[in-house]
Structure 1
């Protein structure tokens, strides 16, 4: 069953955020992930959004085990060091439903 990472983020430091993305993106692909949405400002359909500076990213992985393997991997954890203080984010993991 596919698994998804939902990210709500705002950039605080451009240099650190760029380094984070440079390291995170190849790690995502290495563990079978792919971007469905990458750094887009959402259109708010109901309720409120915390800030117009916040962007959304959605990643898809083959399954939750592979998603967690990516998240805990040395490659991604190296990226996380640059994220701290550079990007404020909320990250959710959720299992999807197979089509059909």
Structure 2
């Protein structure tokens, strides 16, 4: 976390921040990831599923959280960030529980999300939480 903060507050990035803020709006959040990993990049860019989740039923959500890693692994996915709140750098976003999953491709991320292995767990998550999920192409 300290490395990203040092970059963000560096004099070099401060100059770029002025340019970015004059051309766009949004919120930046720092989030500490899970242990380092190495994922093969053969054949193209990785795909990501990014979520901001608010847990409404902790007991049911705990069952979801216990079951989902196995399904992620079946599709070659890995957690980059799992269940942290993050720290807002700019803007007004107040994330609750950030999750970032990385897959070998965007297609693989979508295949996991729509998979029969994840279907029942998805319903469990939806009954125990609310939030936003997006797919992002790593290219």
Structure 1 runs (4+) deviating above 3 angstroms are none
TM-score (norm 1): 0.88
The answer to whether the Cα contact below 8 Å between 2:88 and 2:94 also exists between their aligned partners in 1 is no
Partner of 2:133: 91
Instruction: Point out the structure with the larger strand share.
Output: 1
What residue number does 1:26 align with? Answer: 70
State the TM-score, normalized to the length of structure 2: 0.65
The match for 1:79 is 121
Q: Which runs of 5+ in 2 are unaligned?
A: 1-44
Number of paired residues?
A: 95
- For the residue of structure 1 that corresponds to 2:117, the secondary structure is helix
State whether structure 2 residue 47 is matched by structure 1 residue 7. no
Displacement of 1:20 in angstroms is 1.2
Q: Distance in 2 between matches of 1:55 and 1:37?
A: 10
Report the secondary structure of 2:88's partner residue.
coil
Q: When you count helix as a share of all residues, which structure comes out higher?
A: 2
